[in-house]
Amino acid sequence: MIIKNAVVFNSDFQFEKRDIQIKNGVFAESSEPDSEVIDGSGLYAIPGLTDVHFHGCTGYDFCDGTEEALQAIADYQLKNGITNIVPATMTFDEKRLTDIMNTAKAHKNKLGADLCGINMEGPFISTAKKGAQNPHYIHNPDIDMFRRLQNASGGLIKLVDIAPEEEGSMEFIEALKDEVTISIAHTTADYETAGLAFSKGVKQVTHLYNAMPPFTHRAPGVIGAAFDHKNVYVELICDGIHIHPSVVRATFQLFGDDRVVLISDSMMAAGLADGNYSLGGQGVEVTGSLATLSDGTIAGSVTNLMKCMRIAVQKMGVPLESAVKAAAVNPAKSVGIFDRYGSIEPGKKGNVLLLDRELNLITVIQKGKTV
């Protein structure tokens, strides 16, 4: 396959007009004659996106723990330009989590997005900042439990969340920092505690600003500590609900576009109409773009990563190059799959999205095949 005349997001994170060739499912070095030619004139060509934090869509949740749910989720994501997925678990007991891991390990993708990992969002979090997580199953970080679940998943867990102020957290970080990316989440940690966690090996912050102390001039908390540790990625939900546009712009300025990871944090209502749904075993009411528990707590989003990227550019003033980097490049780097995904470079999976000038998704190409 050759894509001709597109404006391509290159490895320097800039756009340039050039051709793209895909052979045997991967990007190739040079343009040679090919029987399949796609005219990309007037279109942007960007890498397939990677969502490292979402829970479900189209009436299904990753925590359903079934192949039907996982395939439906993968199909929806691919059709919306998310070619690589790292779905997130909720806070459940170990048996339920083990069943979810077993299902993921056995998954044989048909036509959907590639399952590149699992984001284990609970249960090693703070009850005080539980958000939409089920408090009945929250407990202290447990190294042995994590390794049992990792074994059940076949090594698929790429992210695990902790609240570093909880007992056993620092030991957890020291033991596992070389085995999995550890992210701070659902936490009451202050600046000093978060800073210690980062210095011991934590590399990410889950949905920055949400479910953590605010960033203030005398108590900068997790957010300030993340800023001071330059190797830390920060997740950002740009659905227009979770974070004010001004804060999104400030975050890109504060952290730089090489450290921001756009996520959708979507729940099962994504792609469906308003109504009553569930997340982590708790009821969720969806009205427009807002999903809430019965007490008013925001319960994930009802969007997808492509829409978040578009909102960031069109409604929040984020430069297109920065938004693409935060939705395609940085997520792949944060979970250790950038050697195969996340950029249009020779040898990587031939995943390309063609967008018009209004950032509408025109064509999805996965491993050299048009979806």
Q: How many residues does the chain have?
A: 371
Residue 320 CB coordination number (10 Å): 18
Is 190 labeled as catalytic in the residue annotation? Answer: no
Residues β-bridged to residue 282: 279
Angle between helices 221-228 and 191-200 (to 10 degrees): 40
Whether 187 contacts 222, CB under 8 Å = yes
Whether 348 contacts 340, CB under 8 Å = yes
Question: How many Cα neighbours within 13 Å face the side chain of 252?
Answer: 25
Residue 10 CB coordination number (10 Å): 14
For residue 219, which of 195, 199, 253 has the smallest C-alpha distance? 195
In angstroms, the CA 200 to CA 202 distance is 6
Which residue shows structure tokens 């934590």? 202
Instruction: Report residue 85: phi and psi, to 5°.
Output: -130, 145
Structural tokens at position 144: 């042995």
Candidate list 265, 274, 295, 356, residue with the active-site label: 265
Residues acting as catalytic residues = 265
